[in-house]
Structure 1
Amino acid sequence: MFYVNDQFYTVEDIEKQYEIYESLSHLRECNNRRLAICTDDTFQYMALCLYIRQKGGSVVPIHSATPKEGAVRLASSAGSHLLLFQSIDSFIELSNHSNNQEGVLIQMSSGTTGAPKCIERTWSSVEEEIESYVKTLPVDSLTNSVVACPVTHSYGFICGVLACIRRGAKPVIITNSNPKYILKKLKEYPKHILYAAPALLYTLSRLLPIDQPFDRVMTSGTVMPHSWLTLLREKSRQVLQQYGCSESGCVAIHPNMEDPKEMGYPLPHVKVTAGDKQTPSEIIIELSSQTIYTKDLGYIEDNVLSFLARMDDTINVAGLNVYPLEVETVLMDDPRIVEAVVYKKQNNLSGERVCAQYVSTEPIDNMELREWCRKFLAPHQIPMEFVFVHEIEKLPNGKVSRKKLGGIPV
């Protein structure tokens, strides 16, 4: 059915777990109840999710590294009745309130634009996404999904694992974050699609032996720098990208990405609208049950959805919009710059200012950086402030909060 690192688990293994769960009243009676799960036993986590979904209950996934007090806080904020912490026998009762709604999968939003929100998705909507995703993804049943991202998030859980099982392949869930181990597993599965975050894909592509190219890779979550994509395309037979949000799951797939801002073609179960290239506007997702205003700025051209920036991250310089990705791309084209992030700061006199943090292999004079930017950017796009750092601060999910870097309250 699926692998976890080097261990293969069959349908019979899952059914044996179900028998154990049926013997425990706090699990057997999970219908109309909301169970939070925090465990580093990935097989146990997957079996519990499948069991609770089958029983009509609701699941609140919590990352396994979360300490007990933090897990209790997250589980309580999501309205959980029960927290299973590291063991099916170690449970904490949190609420006795009845819950008569349809079973749901609860995801916490990334928190890049403020406090994380609790997002509820019915299992039927997850099922609709899986069906649409499998029909669109250009891979066959012989291609293993190698999932090197958390299965507590919908990207790894729904797209990486559940969709792989649906198309008849066997997902390989990797919890060992050592890049050399991941490359070893990829060699064992030469026909693969690797699900990972951009930073990990970049690291792996730098370490990849010449005689071991990637088959297919999927990226999501944050836009990949152009220089990273160039290297990844050199090392891969196919580079894909998908786009979505916590409320909707995946809504677009690009089957062969050449430009990082191109998110791909909308899936058949959704309607996606945005502006055009000259007048980009908010990306709006229409599902059968709701309309989602993403607060992402983008456009559609030749049926391909492109993402420019979070609307809150767009920098207004004297009435002219600056999109951070465009400036970051120029900065990272300097071979000495390893990573860069562009954000805005408020100035009482001049309004919003373009600022940048960067990691580089050697010291770079600010005037030299400005001269480099002048070759490729309009004056209003050039950062007023360059800050060298040894590491760019990121949130626990690996994303950058531009608001936090700019000192703007979130």
Structure 2
Amino acid sequence: MAGDVVIGLSRLLAGVRPWRAPGAFRRHGLTLATLTTLAARNYPRDIALIDDDGPITYAELDRLTREHPGGERIAVREPNGRAFVAAVVAGLRANADVVLADPQAPAVEVGSQRAGCRGQVVVMTSGSTGTPKAVDRKISVTQAVPIATLVRRLPLQRGVPLVVTQPFFHGFGVGFLALGLVFGMPVVVRRQFRPDDVAGFLRDHPGAVLTGVPPMLSKVARTGVEVPLAAVVSGGGQLHPVVAERLTKAFGPMLFNLYGSTELGWSTLATPAELREAPGTIGRPAAGVRLAVVGDDGRTVRAGAIGHLYVGGRLAGRLADSGDLGHRDSAGRYFVDGRADDLVVTGGENVFPIEVENVLLGHPAVADVRVTGVPDEEYGARLEAHVVRRSPVDAWELRRFARARLSPAKVPRTVTFVAELPVTPTGKPDRRVT
């Protein structure tokens, strides 16, 4: 990882060029406010953003952010686009804490206590397994160390379109907005991206970088688009091996799998080579990040054994429970086997829904699937599968397909066909809704 730090931070420094606006760097630190100021100095006439209102240059974007709101802690409820950037940067320049909120959700309590002595970005958790909550995200130079792994590994280059399908109000989205500002990449967003819109843009712009959560990326691949891209970055949720295979077929062997959380930040990155060698892996820890798989007794478990995935680093400090269960292989690659609270105990056997989903996704008629556990008087819980079909298939055939590949306890007792699967506002699978 030493190479990641040296090369990644060198690339980051060359892109940011903090000496172009030392005053902004001293006042605000490494925030969107500073990055916007520096991008306007570094790439004034380059396209910064392409949103529903068309393209806008870095200099024009910087000029939109001059009106400073009042208050020490403000909420920004803007969809992806220039208005979001203008509101966030204006708040940070006024040294306010800026809380990024879902513009389509009911207002939530964001608190009034400041995150620090100067303005910081405050992001909300995704709410995929509970109520969203605010998480103060302080950004400093030392916390750029894990980002060095991304910067070294990903082909981020000036002028290459960066298509961000995830919302800016989530850490995954705002993080790639920041990287676009650093490297002079036109960030392509919409207030609400549709898979056909994404596919159409990619057909017209081969060689772009595409980012998103697995459900959205899978839907884009299902449009039938096939075009070589510089990179596809999946994050914010479980990347099933079958979905990874579909993305590689559609866009070429340039798929990366990013693992992290709002609370803990970026933690691991799986490269295309690692995904080929070990489908489903989340890769190895980013620079400055520590991972451990810990048993119920608090001790690190052997390779191959499933335990609680603990993460530590610049954002998390000491090792903290991620809430995921996972394992590592003998080569040091890590895997997520499921959320600890998603584990289903049926007839005394532990079942991870992700394993069942992986199998059902292997059927050629299945486009998407969500497996959940529901109460059952006899078994304690039983598995239900909600399936989006690519082509005609019945429940009997899918259960037969599963029985040939899984133990009896892991075969869904019921299969329900639906047009779409529910997702959270950030696009992640919503396992609280069936």
TM-score by length of 1: 0.80
CA contact (8 A) 2:124 2:135 kept: yes
Residues 265-314 of structure 1: CA deviation (Å, up to 9, x unaligned): 21112112125553111111112435431110111222322111001111
Q: Give, in whole Å, the separation in 2 of the partners of 1:98 and 1:131.
A: 25
For 1:389-408, list aligned pairs within 5 A: 389-405=418-434
| Change in CA separation of 1:393 and 1:131 when aligned onto 2, cut-off 3 Å | closer
Q: How far apart, CA to CA, are the structure 1 residues paired with 2:349 and 2:413? A: 15
How far 1:335 moved relative to its partner? 2.0
Which structure 2 residue ranges, 5 or more long, are not aligned?
1-38, 40-47, 294-300
Counterpart-to-counterpart distance in 2, 1:151 and 1:172: 12
CA–CA distance in 2 between the matches of 1:7 and 1:116? 32
C-alpha separation in 1, matches of 2:79 and 2:125: 21
Counterpart of 1:84 in structure 2 is: none
The answer as to whether partners of 1:146 and 1:174 remain within 8 angstroms in 2 is: no
**Displacement, 1:383?**
1.9
Q: Say which SS state the counterpart of residue 50 (structure 1) adopts.
A: helix
Aligned position for 2:111 = 79
The question of whether the paired residues in 1 share the 8 Å contact of 2:240 and 2:280 is answered with: no
Stretch deviating more after TM superposition (214-223 or 45-54): 45-54
Alignment partner, residue 263 of structure 2: 247
User: Structure 1 CA distance, aligned partners of 2:114 and 2:307?
Assistant: 42
Partner of 2:283: 264
Q: Aligned in 2, Cα 1:379/1:170: closer, same or farther, shift over 3 Å?
A: same
Could you tell me which runs of 5 or more consecutive residues in structure 1 were left unpaired when the two chains were aligned.
22-26, 81-96, 406-410
Aligned to 1:92: none
SS at match of 1:402: coil
- Residue 4 of structure 1 is aligned with which of 50, 71, 75? 50
Letter in 1 for 2:322: T
Q: Is the 8 A contact 1:314 1:322 kept in 2?
A: yes
Partner of 1:355: 384
Amino acid at match of 1:298: G
Give the match for residue 196 of structure 1.
212
Q: Is the 8 A contact 2:371 2:385 kept in 1?
A: yes
Q: Which amino acid aligns with 2:228?
A: P
Q: Which amino acid aligns with 2:321?
A: Y
Counterpart of 1:155 in structure 2 is: 172
Conserved 8 A contact 1:148-1:175: no
Q: What value does the CA root-mean-square deviation take over the aligned residues?
A: 2.8
Q: CA distance change for structure 1 residues 99 and 227 in 2, over 3 Å: closer, same or farther?
A: closer
> Take 2:193 and 2:181, find their aligned partners in 1: how far apart are those partners?
23
Instruction: Give 1:145's aligned residue.
Output: 162
For 1:317, the equivalent position in structure 2 comes to: 346
Instruction: Measure the CA separation in 2 of the matches of 1:125 and 1:314.
Output: 38
Match of 1:20 among 43, 57, 67: 67
Among residues 312, 315, 336, which one is paired with 1:286 in the alignment?
A: 312
Tell me whether 1:221 sits opposite 2:236 in the alignment. yes
Aligned counterparts of 2:327 and 2:383: Cα–Cα separation in 1: 23
Distance 2:88 2:142 in 1: 13
Compare the two structures and name the one with the higher strand fraction: 1
How many residues were matched structurally? 371
CA contact (8 A) 2:373 2:382 kept: yes
Say if 1:240 and 1:375 are closer, same or farther in 2 by CA, change over 3 A: same
Cα distance, 1:102 vs. partner? 4.6
Structure 1 residues 41, 310: closer, same or farther in 2, change over 3 A? Answer: closer
Render the CA deviation track for 1:328-351: whole Å, top value 9, x for unaligned: 122222222222211112334422
Aligned to 2:131, which of 86, 111, 115? 115
Shift of the 386–207 alpha-carbon distance from structure 1 to 2, 3 Å rule, reads closer
Shift of 1:127: 5.2
Decide whether the 8 Å contact of 2:308 with 2:325 is kept in 1.
yes
Indicate conservation of the 8 Å contact 2:97/2:114, yes or no. Answer: no
CA–CA separation in structure 2 for the residues paired with 1:209 and 1:113: 32
**Aligned 1:319-338 pairs, distance under 5 A:** 319-338=348-367
Report the more deviating stretch, 102-111 or 171-180: 171-180
CA apart distance, 1:373: 1.6
What are the within-5 Å matches in structure 2 for residues 64-103 of structure 1? 64-66=103-105, 70=106, 73-74=107-108, 77-80=109-112, 101-103=117-119
Corresponding position of 2:89: 50
Letter in 1 for 2:325: L
Preserved contact between residue 166 and residue 426 of structure 2 (Cα < 8 Å) = no
Which secondary structure does the structure 2 equivalent of 1:297 belong to? strand
Per-residue CA deviation, residues 12-38 of structure 1 (Å, 9 max, x unaligned), is: 3244234333xxxxx2x55xx111012
